[in-house]
Amino acid sequence: MAKTLAEKVWDRHVVRRGSGAEPDLLYIDLHLVHEVTSPQAFDGLRLAGRPVRRPDLTIATEDHNVPTVGIDLPIADPVSRTQVETLRRNCAEFGVRLHPMGDAEQGIVHVVGPQLGLTQPGMTVVCGDSHTSTHGAFGALAFGIGTSEVEHVMATQTLPLRPFKTMAVTITGELRPGVTAKDVILAVIARIGTGGGQGYVLEYRGPAIEKLSMEARMTVCNMSIEAGARAGMIAPDETTFAYLKGRPHAPAGELWDNAVADWRGLRTDDGAVFDAEVVLDADELTPFVTWGTNPGQGLPLSATVPDPERIADENERVAAEKALSYMDLVPGTPLREISVDTVFLGSCTNGRIEDLRAAAAVIAGRQVADGVRMLVVPGSMRVKAQAEAEGLHEVFLAAGAEWRQAGCSMCLGMNPDQLAPGERSASTSNRNFEGRQGKGGRTHLVSPLVAAATAVRGTLSSPEDLVTASAGGTNTAASAQN
Amino acid sequence: MEPFTTHTGVGVPLRRSNVDTDQIIPAVYLKRVTRTGFEDGLFAAWRSDEHFVLNQEPYRAGSVLVAGPDFGTGSSREHAVWALSDYGFRTVLSARFADIFRGNAGKAGLLAAQLEQSDIELLWKLLETEPGTEVTVDLREKTVRAKEFTAPFAVDDYTRWRLLEGLDDIGLTLRHAAVIDEFEQARADYLPVTTPIAGA
């Protein structure tokens, strides 16, 4: 029977089929761990006298809490420090590999896994973090879990789960210069809504997806959860194999050939039926930004703040009214006229080297606008080292931006990198929820290109606006896409 | 886990859709390494508003939360479930739950019961016109009752069984340890392990 990619990966991990109401028992190939959602799981193991069954399929990193300046000093916040120290003790006790603050491989868990070559096609990958969907870019079935499930995976290397439904998200056509993976996924979420993906694995496909780099594919899959989906996937292809080849944990020699032969079969069969389908035309997409307080409340940058009065659905209208009140926005205002206090470039969505290159190309030779603070936070120490080898840090510093250490940082403000009440940001992260970046903070989700242009102009902007504003400007708009 | 069969308590109308887990408990409250004590972070931003429903008597002592659709979207933090439980909620009623939240609730003994939105609206009206009305959520019968109001709710059969019996998921899985061993023997030889690689 013809199968979808998600069904193929599912089927090869079924340890035991459930009967009746009982779920399947699914084997987990890779368990990623960080300091926030693991302490209670390790505690549970200790109470029950259970070991971590497969420490060799488990890896931990410190990311959510870590400061992005002064990392050679003890963490100032005692509660954050306790959480990080607890992870260190737990990893030592249970034999789990850990990349702590300051380590060359430390970084955001979803940046670290792929760059080490640990994320590979056809695997099942879990983490106590909803953005685990990132790893689906490799054709892995990767999804976020809660702490009880973290403990379950530690104890058994399996999870009891009922099969997910499948949705094809086909992006036809070709992205225009200056339109990026971030714009694609924001447009997808605006189309299907924050609940539209509930119960589904989204498989992104079509010519516009096939042309994306691995890092851009990760950006797309990363935000699948913002459409409510359990996971996002993209079938592995030559781009995937080229990215993986030679990475520390990728197979080598004969094993590599065997692996690639196997991976080539990881595609949705012709004639396989998805439970739902959505089609977007890449040619029609332009830079996309959010105006509200959930990631589905987004519009093209050229649009104006929507008028709730015109929204027919009562729940959506009330939600829009509450969002505009929180965001302090007036219907009809052009999005390009919204001024920001802070620009955040980073996160597991857009904190990889291509994201930094794209933003640097826009900002090179320009200045961050007066009164605007720009934080550049590489997704991992390896990304940071690479950027510094390319001189990108000098570009950002010369423009007046702050060049930081790796971590989740202002994406969720668990460390000191937060918005003050009432402050407004353009952020390359993934969530614009109320208070996400700091209590009372207001977030507009944007691509790295829009983030960089916004930093220069001080209002939500695309690189095209810079070219128009300064005749004889650079060629950034066209060349800086990822 | 404590079994859940039926629960009766004061209903709390939360007229909001898309209540994400950052609203249920903001990230700054996630730093505890214990499993209890998260009630202070529950709806932290909204609770500073004196008009928020949980700041009103008699809703303050509520244990049945009646919320708008798409409850629990966003982060996978199980702390959202713990915060609700630690505050005193035993069950959340909504027309639609985010997948991870619903899974976490089932694991941690909080019943996420799915009702029709029209029934949620009726409950909201009842709870607002007669504050303090007690709501009974019967997991055996899969019904919600409050005064003259009765409605069925949906919950998946496996979660229902586990909640009724108060069963520990890990214990259930470990009964199949031999099958897991067998599966592991047959895994592809190219799959990676996380053991550090010299020189890498």
A181-207 residue pLDDT tens:
999 999 999 999 999 999 999 999 999
- pLDDT tier, A480 (very low <50, low <70, confident <90, very high otherwise): very low
Binding-site residues of A for [4Fe-4S] cluster, in ranges, read 348, 408, 411
Contact between B35 and A37 using a beta-carbon 8 Å cutoff: no
Between positions 222 and 281 of A, the ones with CB within 8 A of B are 225-226, 228, 230, 248-251, 255-256, 258-259, 262
Phi first, then psi, for residue A337 (nearest 5°) are -95, 0
Q: Which residue has the tokens 């306790």?
A: A82
| Burial class for A391, CB neighbours closer than 10 Å (0-12, 13-18, 19+) | exposed
- pLDDT tier, A211 (very low <50, low <70, confident <90, very high otherwise): very high
The predicted model scores a pTM of 0.94
**For B38-50, what is the mean pLDDT?**
95
B86 touches chain A (CB under 8 A): no
- pLDDT higher than threshold 50 for residue B104: yes
- pLDDT higher than threshold 90 for residue B2: no
Q: Please name which of A181, A163, A136, A146 lies closest in space to residue A22, comparing C-alpha atoms.
A: A163
Write down the mean pLDDT value for chain B: 95
Extract the tokens encoding A190.
């605006």
Per residue in A13-46, pLDDT tens? 999 999 888 999 999 999 999 999 999 999 999 9
Q: Which residues of chain B are within 8 Å of residue A39 when distances are taken between CB atoms?
A: 33-34
User: How many Å apart are CA A314 and CA B168, to the nearest integer?
Assistant: 41
Extract the tokens encoding B185.
């023997």
% of residues, chain A, pLDDT over 70: 97
Parallel/antiparallel/unpaired status of strands A124-127 and A165-172: unpaired
A145 touches chain B (CB under 8 A): yes
| Burial class for A74, CB neighbours closer than 10 Å (0-12, 13-18, 19+) | exposed
A27 touches chain B (CB under 8 A): yes
Parallel/antiparallel/unpaired status of strands B149-152 and B143-146: antiparallel
**Lowest mean pLDDT segment, chosen from A152-166, A362-376, A463-477, B85-99:** A463-477
Contact between A25 and B73 using a beta-carbon 8 Å cutoff: no
- pLDDT higher than threshold 50 for residue A327: yes
A356 touches chain B (CB under 8 A): no
Contact between A21 and B18 using a beta-carbon 8 Å cutoff: no
Per-residue confidence (pLDDT) for residue B198, from 0 to 100? 67
Residue of A nearest to B181 (CA): A15
- pLDDT higher than threshold 90 for residue A387: yes
